[in-house]
Structure 1
Amino acid sequence: MLKISVLSAAVFSAVSFDTSAAQEIERITVTANKFEQPIKNTLASISVLDRAQIDQLNVRDIPSLLNTLPGVDVVRSGGLGQVASVFVRGASIQHTLVLIDGVRVSDANSGNVSFTNIPVNSIERIEVVRGARAAIYGSDAVSGVINIITREAQAHEATLTSGSHNYVSAQASGRFKVEKLSLGYNFGIEETDGYDVIEKDPSAPIGKDHDQDGYENKNLGFNLAYDFEQYGELSAITQLSEGTGEYDNPWGNDEYDFENYTAKLAWAKRTDGLTQNAALSVSQEENVQTGTEKEDIYSTERRELEYQARFKVLESLQATAGISHLNEDVSKSTAKFTESQRDNTAIFAGAFYDDEKFLANLSVRSDDYDFHGRANTYTTGFGVKAHKNATFRINHGTSFRAPTLSNAFVADSPWYAPNGEIKPEEAENNEIGLTLTSSWGRYDVAVFENRITNLISNIQDPETKLFVAQNINKATMKGVELSAQFEALGFEHSANLTLLDAKDNSTGTSTDLPRRPSKAFNYTLTKQWEKLNVNLTMLYRSDRPTIAFYNSELSAYTVFNLSANYELLDGIKLNARMENLTDKEYFTSGAGFTADGSRLLGYKPLGRQLYVGAKFEF
């Protein structure tokens, strides 16, 4: 159990830390309540990673970025192109809504997101909102929302990178602007020979899995906008990535081809008292499992139409209202369904009060999913600016996750049977937080609790031996998040600590949920000289249980990463990154046992690696 004394000590140490003056940078978010707000006014726990931070760290994939944030933990099953499970406040990725420019991108059946297939070069910033947001976004926003916003580059640039395991990357981005017309672009290619991602039993014979697992990604994106002034702004945004990845599987397919895209046509018009937004979006998340004669296709297509209006009621009060219609289609998948499409129509409204002393939010939403009925959710928040530098907040909300089409309508499967009576998962979220912002830096503490009921689990039918989805599980995630950004002793410091108590309450007795560390600590130390920027990052994760099948424990680990950027000439910058400085051996996910059962084998993260590159701006 988490004790108040731990929280009190952490808050005291953060507030009383002796630091030099640091200029406050006000950061804007568009994710928390679906419109632009300063973070301090959103009444939510939010982290933002902007392009400048991404460039400083020189990372190659999104999981490496997310793993530095409070309340977020990444469990890797290998390197680039491999599965990376992202847990937000202890909840699995199925309970976190992932968006690219506001467009849903998860696989509609598994709920998984291929984070490693989203190119870092395409990202302008990432906004992560922790806590229930279903009343704003609908299904899946149980523990949070991850919104990836694509490039808004103002200058033309090209980057070349090479490194360990024959990694090579060539990326470019930029923008053209003529009066009211602007066109942004990004494109690139990256590939690596990879490495053998699963630790092998020394006594096992050499098989097809004793090989390197490579990866290739080709990507392209455009952002076109034209300002019609009194008629509003029209924009079109699209991102496409395709490629191939290899993995270990001793019995079947061990490669996959992917083709993922999002496209959004949007209109926005702003007047003194009214802001209107309308958008039509389409997306595809598709991968084809290859490597044998039998290929399996996993495909999700979505189409969504949404309209939202925000109007000023009073100087201190704004209101929003809107409607959306979403269609999900899995008919291109190899699996068969008695129903392969479904629609959801939702209406939503909200009120947001801010008189520079008190803050209050109220959002309500009603979703009507085909086959599953209506789900009503709400989010409430209240805040007090107790001091010009301190804001206290309290939040309460409900959320849900709709069953998948596979849960209800899978057909002709040798493993699963459908359950037409399956219901949505439901959750209740509570949070108390305090933010301190001054010339000494920015400090935040949040205490949260998330209770999920009607969790869907596949239970084997004793007669048919098929697995059937049932609403039988319960889980509770509660904890504390502490974060701080400040300057001291000539260095910039960014640190966060997450204390998590994640329990499975399904059987009446509480057991720890697998693969969730109870303690996670991230610390980044940055030094800026005239032309040189250096970043040292430490990641610590405490020990945690594996999944029940392995009935084992994963050891704690600490990893250090170092990155540097040097301005060689005007418009030419050199960059380098060394990962796992100490060549730490560890793993975050089990993969089997040795033949004699004496040792758990796991997915191996990369050892020490070096990557170097150059950026050209013109």
Structure 2
Amino acid sequence: MTHTRLLLLTTALLAPLSAARAQEVTVLPPIIVSGGLTPAPADAYGRAHTVLSREEIEARGVTTLQDALRGVPGVAVSSSGPSSTQIRIRGAEANHTLILVDGVEVSGGSPADYFLSGLSVQNIERVEVLRGPQSVFYGSSASAGVVNIITDKGAEGLHYGGSAEVGNGHSASAHVSQRSVQGGLSLNLSQLDDHGFDYSGDGGEKDGLRRNTIGLAGDWKATDTLTFGSTLRWTKEEYEYDSFGPSTGEADLIVDDKTPEGETREFQGALFGELSTLGGRLTHRLDYQRSVFKLDTFESDLTRAESDTLKYRLSYGLDGLPVDQARHLLNVLVEHEDDDSNVATDYERERESVALEYRASLDNGLDLQAGVRRDDNKVFDDFTGWTLGLSWRIPGQPVRLHASAGRAQVDPSYAELFGSASAIGNPDLIPEQNRSYDLGAEFTFLNGRALVDVTYFHEQLTNEITNLYILVAPETYRAFAFNADGESPREGIEVTGKLQATDALDLSFGYTYLDAQGPDGRIEVRRPKHELQLSSTLFFLQDRASATATVRHVAGNYDDQFYGAYERAELPNYTTLDLAAGYDLTKEVRLTGRVTNLFDESYSDVWGYATRGRQAYVGVQARW
């Protein structure tokens, strides 16, 4: 189905909204939208997770997903420039985390890692970060976790607004929505023109980035039991970058100050219909999703990857209650997915999957989530994955214990199988598999003003795909991917804390300890051993103004030296301080300002690549 057809169908489905009558909208308790085959209650969810609200993100002053995720427990963010940023959850590789926008994957179906670049968090409701295997619900590429950006669909009535910011370039966004009890329609626009900085760090020209995004979403309640909806999203990005030069044997010459350019184009679209029967006890949902990702760079030919997914989900309240109230719930998913890439024009992957999920809310505060999935793969061996989550709110105590375990799989990427400008293909690769468990405790005290969550996790990766660098021409190396023998253990501790110290002062912190090793016993690259983030927000002038300070410390980060013998070495530890502030000029208009890397710390996440120095920004936000 083409993009045009999706747009026409969306318009047809949502046209009756013009006649919708405004009625009261019910406020639901907190849920984890991405928590399973259907949304899960946050206070009963057994799997480790973090939810970043729009208010938290705005208080920190961040505008991109990569910056919002820095400091989230269990998440490592490494960047060789804004146009090339990866995330790794619990020490896994970057392509083991699935990135979604409103539940639709952004990578075009290819299980290669998605470079976050300028992915905006403007016009969002929240970001959900799920840690641990999620493949039962989301398939391949979700073996370490899921990051789902949930965009702002608007509240009841007509709402609109926007933002603008200047400082080493500019960014802008706009939002308009109309919603009633019968449905709603929202339009989100965002633009980023980042003048960037010199990735090579030798004082050369700036490497900038320009990104434009259009998002359209809507839903329409055709009858009391039948709802239709759609989400559509288009993105175009242009950027400059610096890349590795010939292997000279000198560390300070490995990244050339070049002027190559790249361009990406993305499309994600989804259509759904949901039918409620038996008084809400039995629901049916049919989804069609399409994702297309195109990449064109100065150094390589155009790459196009795309995927099409058709899903049918049945939900049944086993205890006779409606699905959204059931204490015993059964979800069934039947899914067909196919993806392809022009990297291998005669090669196409297909997968038929069936998944079952059972949830129980038992007496004495005990909640259970269990799931199993069977993948019938056209190319690789068939696979059975599973997941289990437990949550126990101890009666009479301000303590909630939680635990989860699971098994998941990740298919090799097209580049690993068939090669690219920098890699030699290996069609004999097999999928990687991950086994995981975690144990945690959440403590609430000071009459609910403070919360601390401590989680221990252990993951074991087998068939890890790793690279061997081969000299293919004088001073030219290319990566050759292969499945390493043995197991790659990863374990650590994640700590989250929040404290409302006074009516005017909020404090929060996140800490991760990680020990990630390859099958050869070496420390895995770009996965810091220690990462700590402390944040404080002060409200003043009768809550019309606020100021936030965020300190981030990273230690024990290793990377390969891409020159000479390609040795693995530890990068210097670093600490950064960011400041953000805002003042309400009126109830609808807010003046903002921020300074990143206040002390102009010089550091690196990736060997040979510089990072951005101190930058200052000023902006304005408006909502009606």
Shorter-chain TM-score category?
Answer: 0.7 to 0.9
Within-5 A mapping of 1:503-518 = 503-505=517-519, 507=520, 510-518=521-529
The match for 2:360 is: 353
Map 1:360-371 → 2, pairs under 5 A: 360-371=368-379
User: Where do 1:195-206 residues align within 5 Å?
Assistant: 195-200=197-202
Give the match's secondary structure for 1:570: coil
Question: What secondary structure does 1:520 align onto?
Answer: strand
- TM norm structure 1: 0.85
Q: 2:611 aligns with which of 598, 605, 615?
A: 605
- Which ranges in structure 2 are unaligned for 5 or more consecutive residues? 1-27, 246-257, 320-325
Matches within 5 A, 1:293-372: 295-314=300-319, 315-331=326-342, 335=343, 337=344, 339-357=346-364, 358-372=366-380
Equivalent in the alignment of 1:130: 131
- TM-superposed deviation, 1:242: 0.5
* Number of residue pairs matched by the alignment: 559
Aligned pair in 2 of structure 1 residues 579, 392: CA closer, same or farther (>3 Å)? same
SS at match of 2:130: strand
**Percent of aligned positions that are identical:** 23
Amino acid of the residue matched to residue 453 of structure 1?
A: T
Q: Please tell me the residue identity of whatever aligns with 1:494.
A: S
Of 232-241 and 177-186, more deviation after overlay is shown by 177-186
In the alignment, the residues of structure 2 paired with residue 148 and residue 287 of structure 1 have an alpha-carbon distance, to the nearest angstrom, of 22
Q: Give the Å deviation of 1:496.
A: 1.3
Q: Quick one: distance in 2 between partners of 1:412 and 1:433?
A: 42
SS at match of 1:419: coil
Q: 1:414 to 1:274 in 2, by over 3 A?
A: closer
- Root-mean-square deviation (CA), in Å? 2.5
Deviations 1:328-348 (A, max 9, x none): 1212xxx4x263321111100
Do structure 1's residue 105 and structure 2's residue 106 form an aligned pair? yes
Distance, in Å, in 1 between the alignment partners of 2:340 and 2:432 is 21
| Deviation of 1:119 (Å) | 2.2
Indicate the larger mover: 513-522 or 354-363: 354-363
- Summarize the Cα distance change of 1:187–1:382 in structure 2 as closer, same or farther, 3 Å threshold: closer
Counterpart-to-counterpart distance in 2, 1:572 and 1:412: 49
Query: Partner residue of 2:556?
Result: 543
Deviation at 1:547, TM superposition (A): 1.8
Question: C-alpha distance in 1, partners of 2:471/2:65?
Answer: 42
Is the CA contact 1:318–1:353 (under 8 Å) kept in the aligned structure 2?
yes
- Cα distance change on mapping 1:256 and 1:428 into 2, 3 Å: same
Distance in 1 (CA, whole Å) between partners of 2:128 and 2:280 is 27
Q: What is the alpha-carbon distance in structure 2 between the residues aligned to residue 614 and residue 64 of structure 1?
A: 20
- Whether 1:66 and 2:69 are equivalent positions in the alignment is yes
In structure 2, relative to structure 1, the CA distance for the partners of 1:385 and 1:570 (3 Å cut) is: closer
- The code of the aligned residue for 1:534 comes to A
Change (3 A) 1:78 1:321: same
1:565 equivalenced with 2:582 (yes/no): yes
- The answer as to whether partners of 1:303 and 1:326 remain within 8 angstroms in 2 is yes
Quote the residue 1:395 is aligned against. Answer: 404
Q: Matched residue of 2:464: which SS?
A: strand
SS at match of 1:512: coil
Q: Is the 8 A contact 2:555 2:573 kept in 1?
A: yes
Decide whether aligned partners of structure 1 residues 551 and 72 sit closer, same or farther in structure 2, where only a CA change above 3 A counts: same
Q: Which amino acid aligns with 1:296?
A: D
CA shift at 1:534, angstroms?
1.4
Q: Indicate the SS of the match to 2:200.
A: coil
Q: How does 1:236-255 map to 2 (within 5 A)?
A: 236-249=230-243, 254-255=260-261
**Which residue identity lines up with residue 239 of structure 1 in the other structure?**
R
Match of 2:531 among 520, 524, 532: 520
Encode CA deviations 1:209-247: one digit per residue, 9 max, x unaligned: x31111111111111211113342111111111020000
Measure how far apart 1:577 and its partner are. Answer: 1.0
Match of 1:380 among 382, 385, 388: 388
Counterpart Cα distance in 2 of 1:214 and 1:406:
26
Cα displacement (A) at 1:361? 1.9
Question: What is the aligned counterpart of 2:78 among 53, 57, 75?
Answer: 75
- How far residue 416 of structure 1 moved from its aligned partner, in angstroms, is 2.0
Query: Post-superposition shift, 1:458?
Result: 4.2
Distance 1:412 1:604 in 2: 25
2:501 to 479, 488, 493: 488
Q: Which amino acid aligns with 1:111?
A: A
Match of 2:262 in 1: 256
Q: CA deviation at 1:93?
A: 1.5
How far has the Cα of 1:102 moved from its partner?
1.4
In structure 2, relative to structure 1, the CA distance for the partners of 1:47 and 1:193 (3 Å cut) is: same
Q: Decide whether aligned partners of structure 1 residues 198 and 219 sit closer, same or farther in structure 2, where only a CA change above 3 A counts.
A: same
Where 2:117 maps in the other structure, the secondary structure is helix
The alpha-carbon distance between structure 1 residues 236 and 250, as it changes in their structure 2 partners (threshold 3 A), is same
Whichever residue aligns with residue 457 of structure 1, its letter is T
Give the AA of the match of 1:512: I
Determine helix, strand or coil for the equivalent of 1:582: coil
Q: Does 1:578 align with 2:583?
A: no
